[in-house]
Amino acid sequence: MRFDEAYSGNVFIGSHSNYMESKAVLYGMPMDWTVSYRPGSRFGPTRIREVSIGLEEYSPYLDRELEEIKYFDAGDIPLPFGNPQRSLDTIKEFVDKLLAADKFPLGMGGEHLVSWPVMKAVSEKYADLAIIHMDAHTDLREHYEGEPLSHSTPIRKIAELIGPKNVYSFGIRSGMKEEFEWAKQEGMHISKFEVLEPLKEILPKLAGRPVYVTIDIDVLDPAHAPGTGTVDAGGITSKELLASIHAIAGSKVNVVGADLVEVAPIYDVSEQTANTASKLIREMLLGFVK
C-alpha cells in the first residue's frame, strides 16, 4: 500500500528506489534560456518521464531488461531561471558528486549547453576522454551575438578543453562556414549528414578509451523529432539513431556518461518526440551501463 511512503510520482519506468545501490543516475537539466530560436526544452525531462509508461522494460534489440541494471531517477536539477552561469555551476556540482560516487551519469536536457559542465566534470575524472557527438548542428561557435554561454558553443568549449582531436561529431548538417573551417584546421572529426556508417569506422579507433556520448535529438530528421527547438531537414531516421546507439553499445569503447538533449514537447502535439526520447533513454541505459 502506498500509504506508508511518499508517492514516488513521475519517475522514468523501471527506475530503482535507492540511490546508494544504483549504478547509474538519470537526471534532468531543465534549462533553455540561451537558445536563439524556439525555447521549451526545459520541459523535456518531465515529459520524457511521463510518457515512459508507454514503454516496455525489455529491449528486443539488446535482449536485456531494465531490472538487470539498477539506475536511480534523481529528478530535475533545480536551476535558476535566466542565469546561465549559475545554472551551469549547479549542474557541474551535481555531476561531480555522481562521479565521485562512481555513478554512471545519464542526463536529459534542456538545451545543449547543459552538456558542457557535464563533459567538463567527466573529463576531469577520465584523462583520455573522447566525445561522441550526434547533432544537426556544429555547436562550435565561440559566442553567439556576444554571449559565450550559448546553446551554440558547448562542443567548442569541450573541444578546447580536451583537444579538438578528441571530439567526433556525426550527422552535422548546419553551421557557419567558420565553424567547419575551424574544425578542419584543428583536426576535429566531423561527419557531415551521416551517422551510422562513419561511426562504425571510428569506433574501432576509440577501443578501450573512455567516451562520453552526447546526442542532440535534432540529429534526427524533423519527421522523427518535430518536438525540438531547431528542426533541420535532411536528418537521419530514428531507426538509424537506434542502430548507432547499439553500435556503440556493441563496440569496445568504454562509455562513461551520456546525455540526450533538446526535446521541447510543446512543438509536438502527438508527443512522438518525447516517446522516441524515452525509448532512446532506455536503450542508452541498457546499452551503456554494464
d(CA 170, CA 265): 24
d(CA 212, CA 123): 9
In angstroms, give the least distance from the CB of 174 to a copy of itself: 5
76 labelled ligand-binding? no
133 labelled ligand-binding? no
In angstroms, give the least distance from the CB of 99 to a copy of itself: 13
d(CA 130, CA 121): 13
Alpha helices in the chain (DSSP H): 44-51, 84-100, 115-125, 154-162, 177-186, 196-202, 238-249, 272-288
Specify the residue, 52 or 129, whose C-beta has the smaller distance to a copy of itself.
Answer: 52
120, 156, 189, 279: which one contacts a copy of itself (CB under 8 A)? 279
24, 45, 49, 188: which one contacts a copy of itself (CB under 8 A)? 49
d(CA 91, CA 117): 6
d(CA 228, CA 250): 28
Binding segment for a copy of itself (CB under 8 A), chosen from 39-47, 124-132, 163-171, 207-215, is: 39-47
Peptide bond into 187 cis (omega under 30): no
137 labelled ligand-binding? yes
Q: What's the distance, CA 3 to chain centroid?
A: 36
Residue at grid coordinates 562556414: 177
Specify the residue, 140 or 211, whose C-beta has the smaller distance to a copy of itself.
Answer: 140
The footprint of a copy of itself on residues 150-179 (CB under 8 A) is: 150, 172-177
Interaction between residue 75 and a copy of itself (CB under 8 A):
yes
DSSP-assigned beta bridge partners for residue 29: 109
Binding segment for a copy of itself (CB under 8 A), chosen from 17-25, 154-162, 196-204, 208-216, is: 17-25
Nearest Cα residue to 69 out of 107, 14, 28: 14
Residue at grid coordinates 525489455: 58
Interaction between residue 82 and a copy of itself (CB under 8 A):
yes
In angstroms, give the least distance from the CB of 209 to a copy of itself: 28
Interaction between residue 224 and a copy of itself (CB under 8 A):
yes
Binding segment for a copy of itself (CB under 8 A), chosen from 7-15, 114-122, 155-163, 251-259, is: 7-15
The footprint of a copy of itself on residues 121-140 (CB under 8 A) is: none
Specify the residue, 254 or 272, whose C-beta has the smaller distance to a copy of itself.
Answer: 272
